[in-house]
Structure formats: structure tokens, C-alpha cells
Amino acid sequence: MQTHTLIPHLQSPPLAVQSVSGRITSDGAWLRLRWRIDGPAALVVPPFAGKGRADGLWQTTCFELFLRAPDESAYLELNLSPSERWNAYDFTGYRAGMAERPMPIEPTCSFRVGQAMAIFDAAVPLSALPPRPWHAAMSAVLEEEGGIKSYWALAHQGDRPDFHDPACFVIDVPAPEAP
């Protein structure tokens, strides 16, 4: 279980957040995701809204996962909010052909905030995801007091944050081992 360090985009530095890391694991039926935020004192947390799809989650604190098969341009984007709202989109190529992805079972998530760190955990049914192997990208939009937003990813290219950039897909998630 490898932990991956996310970095903020240079054009949008955080106020108090010191670091963000993420990891991906699987237990056979669920893909489990964890983001750790160090320095959450000024973090704005969306209020509880209950499970369900919602658009525009990235406009405040939100966690994102991108998956694509090796040698493919199509990919999946998953948005997960501390409010428990979520959404999943399929793209046919870079920011092209966006369509809502069916999710027969809703993802689950929990958010815990302490003085020194916050943890966002999510579980996504593997049955709703494309078959592995994948190249994956983990990212986060963190809103802090005063409307300050920082954009965290495994890699950044260009003058503006762009989580869809193929350069962000740096985690290799292998196919499951045969029993």
C-alpha cells in the first residue's frame, strides 16, 4: 500500500494546508481511497448533504480520482465530497465526450478533521469501474477560509491546474492476481 504525495499548483498556493497525500487499495469488492491533509485549521468543509449525485463538487473542498486503461485515451473521473455527494463521468478523450457513468451502488465516504490533520476515506464498488489495470490520478481541491482554493495533484503541467492532463496519471494499479 503505497502513499502518494500530492503537490499544490504554483498558481494557487494553500493558506494553512501543509501537505496532502493519497493512497489506493482494493479488498476484492471495493476500491478504497484515502486522502490525508496536514494543516486543516482553515479548511472549509461542505455541509452534510447525504448521498447522491451532484455536479460542481469541485467548486469547494472535493477529492477526485481519475482512471484510464494503459494505451487508452478514454478515462473515468470520480468526484467525492465530504458532504457525501459524488459524481462519476466517462470521457472519450482529453476533456471530450463527457457522459455520466452509471453507478449501480453509490460510493461511500467519511471525513474526519482533527487539529493537525484530516482524513477523507472513500469506497467505490469495483463492479462499477472499468477492468484493471489502470493508470490513476488522485487530486484534491481544497477551499480554505477567505475563499482561497488550492489544487493538489500528483503532477502539474501548464500555467493552470488541470487534473485531466495525462501527465497526472502516474499511479499504476495492476490487474488483480488470479486466485
Interatomic CA distance for residues 154 and 139, integer angstroms: 7
Query: Torsion angle, CA of 155/159/163/165, rounded to 10 degrees?
Result: -80
The number of residues in the chain equals 179
Asked if residue 1 has pLDDT above 80, the reply is: no
Alpha carbon distances (Å) from 146 to 4, 45, 115, 125: 28, 13, 19, 36
Residues facing residue 7 across a β-bridge: 153
Q: Which residues contact 100 (CB under 8 A, 6 or more apart)?
A: 53, 87, 88, 89, 90
What rounded mean pLDDT belongs to the chain? 95
- The structure's pTM equals 0.96
pLDDT digits (tens, 9 = 90+) for 66-111: 999 999 999 999 999 999 999 999 999 999 999 999 999 999 999 9
Q: What residue ranges define each of the domains in the chain, with the CATH number in brackets?
A: 4-173 (2.60.40.1190)
Residues facing residue 135 across a β-bridge: 68, 172
pLDDT digits (tens, 9 = 90+) for 12-46: 999 999 999 999 999 889 999 999 999 999 999 99
Phi-psi region of 39 (alpha: psi -120 to 50; beta: other; left: phi over 0): left
